[in-house]
Structure 1
Amino acid sequence: MSGPLRLLPGDGDTLPALPRPRARTRRRPSWAEDPIDELAERLVEQVATAVHPYEVAALLESDGLTGDQISERYGRPDLFTLAGDLYARVPRHYPEPPPAPDPWRPDHLRCALRGLVFALPGLAYVLGAGLWHGRADLSGLIASALAAWAWNQGLSHRAYLRLAAEGRAAAGRTLRIGAPAGALGAAATGLAVSGPGTSAAFAAGQSCYLAAASVLLVFGRERALLLTLVPVAAGAGAVQVWQLPIALVLGLLLATVLLAVLAAAHAIRAAVGSEPTAAGTTPPLLRSLPYGLFGLAAGVLAALAGAEDPRSVVVLTLSMGFAEWLLYRYRSLALTALRESTTGRGFVLRSGRALAYCLGAYLTVLGAGALLAGTSPAALLALGALLWTALLLQAFSLAWVPAALTLATAVAEAAAPFAGIPSGPAQLIFRTAAASVLVAAACRLLGRPTPHR
């Protein structure tokens, strides 16, 4: 060829198109098995739980895949393309987390023990019934008991707060000062109302026992407290068969008081001498005030119920162990509802069902006890609903509403006879109204997730 080649279009013949360089990626025949399927099968658990392809890319990188392996073995240009392919091939699957331990699971034995130590002290009144005479002596015992209940409720709450915030040593120091002061104040109240005599001595022993029992309950020494009640329980059983001499009666009562005081002193000494924990913030005294007011109001309501029919107080006292068990049960059910609910309305419904179940169970047992005891169940059921719902709100540190409502109910019932309203109808009306308001408040306040966390 003698002439030059023409390279411009339209100027005659042109050069044929040069082939483009092919990618170095090796293509696999259609009949070959895709190794990406094998990779997806091997990493299916990890890929299925990923929420973004980047998580799959991080997984592949940690698995040691190199760029050459990705292009030559899997036929993909880079790591992120392979990760996206794997993410698209494997369906999403997010396993449910394992169930967390339930911190509010009721301790059946502990609740049964607490029910016994709540009920058995009433046998002291059976054993020592011959030690007081007349209205003044009885009024002194009631006044002393009300002062002790109010003080010990507030003291126990403060001790629990310091136990949680600062440890056992701080709670022990609180009880070391507060328990003797409360016993002295309650004994002085009984003496001031009834005057000197055997009734004042019984009130002093009652005050010492209630202070010691509060100490033992705060530190979880229910078994020790139960053992201190053996002399009184034995004496109350014996007095049903024989007429015991006064000296023996006094000895049995004094034995229970001394055993309780010694057990409480030992518990306080052990707590104060325990290892100190990290210093926390000392809670203010005002936080325990509504608990003390509730203790006073509950004592007044129980005394008024006993004046109308003493059998109702016996039934109410015997039901306290089951009432405490139901408080734990409600908290457990509410925590389950919080885990299972996906909407606010769903939690409200589940929480409401738990409240209805627990309150209904308590009232059923209380009504059965009233029928067995032969007392009218209406006023007792209203009182039980009021006290149990108040205790439930207090368990969530919602204390002022139940304290104020219970105290107002106690004042209204005490003032009803002076207004010419019979005690029986007044108790039924005021307790039912207060219980209805308190249940509505519980549904509203506990129907939010915040108090349950």
Structure 2
Amino acid sequence: MAIRLAGARPPRRRPRWALDDATLAIRLPRSGPDEQAVSELAAELADRIGPAVHPYEVAALLEAEGLSASVISERYGHPNLFSLASALYERVPRSFPEPAPAADPWRRPDTLRCLLRGVLFALPGLAYLLAAPLWDTGGYAPALIVAGLVSWAWGQALGHRAHLRMTAGRREAGRTLLAGSPAGAAVATAVAALPADGGPVTLVAAAQSAYLAAAGVLLVLGRERLLLAALSPLLAGAAVLPWWQPGPVLRAGLPLLALLATLTVTGWVLRGALAVPAAAGATRPRLLWSLPYGLFGLAAGVLVLLEGREEPYAVIVLTLSMGPAEWLLYRYRGLSVAALRATATPTAFLLRSAGILGLCLLAYLAPLLPAALLTGADPVALLLLAAVLWTALLLQAFGAAWPSAGICLTAAGGAGAVVVFHLPPGAALALPLGCGAAALCLSACALWLLGRPAPHA
């Protein structure tokens, strides 16, 4: 057993006003506050008095410093603590330190991932390039187009619902995709069988619908690289076409191999998502919430189809541009957050928001102009259609899905009616006029809804 003496505690730091309390002093009574002593105390505590918003905060600070009533009365000449606190509060100017800037999740978008998604949107077209000599393109086109439109609309709605479920957990999103993707492929195939009269084109439509459903699952779950690997047979087959024409077996086998690889990878990814523990208390979002996203997918598909009737290469350009379009959506949100921090009035934010919208649209449309001229497409129709799609996606990113869906459906319905029924002003002007009006309405809607600070806070 040993007895240890407690070590001496370090001396406590004492305020300057208390350093000479150990010295006996005779003080003559004053008739008022000692301004010099109060000024010295204010200078000593200025860094802590400055951020105060009320004298009571200064009073709490003085109490924490240990100022007694006798010290306040004798040294500073104030009758009580609150009188001295008020004097210090008035003497020290307000200085509110700026808080540390919050992290901006939109500042650095994943550029490689966005570009890869744009490439993945266009890569399935290589399957049609490889298999084109094996079928009647004109006879198969209606069924494949109908199946594609249904798959596009279904995929947009299902993707939105899966992202809503993702907030509860990856397992919940996986269950939604597992139930919705096969159903969407079945519906698209059934609809395509109507114009095909149940012929062999139905099998091609079924394969197309199955791929679109599986690819949608991988894109929602963020497995773009796996999808790229699954599509590698298409890349290999298309790469040799300029120098060597493969036989029918390879032309049919490579797309089929890519489809099987995509389905296999999708099943493996879904299995991993379903292995995650279920979230407690997860609620299912209403189906109606995803309806406008599906309607927008249908309208966008019709608009792209109308553009592709006259300019098929323009559709390829537009598809590849979806990657940069997604990147610009991230940049718009990041720039808007920066504008929110830099402006002090709603009018200033509205003006800056309008500038950001114009800048992002210009950055998206500028590369499309030389691409349209290079492919021989009409640049006016392509740029207006691209502006419609990007602005609608912007509104959807902020939850304003019904305005974008309604405007795009109106434009698609009007342009489609002009083309089908040969109405004035004619098929050549139907799409540019419809997209131009839709772009103006969507831009005005974006300024009205997103030109306020609330959506960006």
Flag whether TM exceeds 0.5 (same fold). yes
Q: 2:431 aligns with which of 402, 427, 430?
A: 427
Q: 1:437 aligns with which of 426, 430, 441?
A: 441
Which secondary structure does the structure 2 equivalent of 1:416 belong to? helix
Give the TM-score, by structure 2 length.
0.88
Partner Cα separation in structure 1 for residue 45 and residue 67 of structure 2: 13
Partner Cα separation in structure 2 for residue 372 and residue 441 of structure 1: 33
Partner Cα separation in structure 2 for residue 226 and residue 68 of structure 1: 80
Percent sequence identity is 53
Deviation at 1:342, TM superposition (A): 2.2
What residue ranges of structure 2 are gaps of 5+ in the alignment?
1-25
Letter in 1 for 2:345: T
Letter in 2 for 1:363: L
Partner Cα separation in structure 1 for residue 412 and residue 367 of structure 2: 24
Which secondary structure does the structure 2 equivalent of 1:216 belong to? helix
> Does residue 170 in structure 1 map to residue 179 in structure 2?
no
Q: 1:147 aligns with which of 146, 150, 170?
A: 150
Judge conservation of contact 1:315–1:366 (CA < 8 Å) in 2. Answer: yes
What residue ranges of structure 1 are gaps of 5+ in the alignment?
1-23
Superposed CA RMSD = 2.1
Which stretch of the first structure deviates more once superposed, 110-119 or 184-193? 184-193
Structure 2 counterpart of 1:258: 260
Partner Cα separation in structure 1 for residue 35 and residue 88 of structure 2: 16
Deviations 1:247-294 (A, max 9, x none): 112221112111211221122222222122232331111111111111
Letter in 1 for 2:450: L
Partner Cα separation in structure 2 for residue 73 and residue 263 of structure 1: 81
Q: 2:275 aligns with which of 247, 252, 273?
A: 273
After superposition, where does 1:151-300 map in structure 2 within 5 Å? Answer: 151-164=154-167, 166-195=168-197, 199-300=201-302
Deviation at 1:25, TM superposition (A): 5.9
Deviation at 1:27, TM superposition (A): 6.2
Deviations 1:403-447 (A, max 9, x none): 122112112222213234432211111111111111111111212
Distance 1:277 1:27, change over 3 A: farther
Deviations 1:90-137 (A, max 9, x none): 221112221111122222122122122122222222222223214221
Partner Cα separation in structure 2 for residue 73 and residue 420 of structure 1: 95
Partner Cα separation in structure 2 for residue 228 and residue 43 of structure 1: 67
Which stretch of the first structure deviates more once superposed, 432-441 or 76-85? 76-85
Which stretch of the first structure deviates more once superposed, 350-359 or 443-452? 443-452
Deviation at 1:55, TM superposition (A): 0.9
Which secondary structure does the structure 2 equivalent of 1:91 belong to? coil
Q: 2:304 aligns with which of 298, 302, 305?
A: 302
Deviation at 1:181, TM superposition (A): 1.0
Which secondary structure does the structure 1 equivalent of 2:124 belong to? helix
Q: 1:111 aligns with which of 82, 99, 114?
A: 114
Judge conservation of contact 1:25–1:75 (CA < 8 Å) in 2. Answer: no
Distance 1:86 1:385, change over 3 A: same
Partner Cα separation in structure 2 for residue 259 and residue 413 of structure 1: 38
Letter in 2 for 1:426: A
Distance 1:348 1:148, change over 3 A: same
Structure 2 counterpart of 1:447: 451
Structure 2 counterpart of 1:123: 126
Judge conservation of contact 2:35–2:76 (CA < 8 Å) in 1. Answer: no
Letter in 2 for 1:232: L
Deviation at 1:215, TM superposition (A): 0.7
Partner Cα separation in structure 2 for residue 283 and residue 125 of structure 1: 37
Structure 1 counterpart of 2:45: 43
Partner Cα separation in structure 2 for residue 91 and residue 246 of structure 1: 85
Structure 2 counterpart of 1:412: 414
Letter in 2 for 1:398: A
Which secondary structure does the structure 2 equivalent of 1:93 belong to? coil
Partner Cα separation in structure 1 for residue 66 and residue 373 of structure 2: 76
Structure 1 counterpart of 2:21: none
Deviation at 1:138, TM superposition (A): 1.1
After superposition, where does 1:92-103 map in structure 2 within 5 Å? Answer: 92-103=94-105
Judge conservation of contact 1:25–1:71 (CA < 8 Å) in 2. Answer: no
Deviations 1:222-262 (A, max 9, x none): 11112112111111111222111121122211121112112
Partner Cα separation in structure 1 for residue 286 and residue 184 of structure 2: 19
Letter in 1 for 2:245: Q
Give the TM-score, by structure 1 length.
0.89
For these two proteins, the number of residue pairs brought into alignment is 426
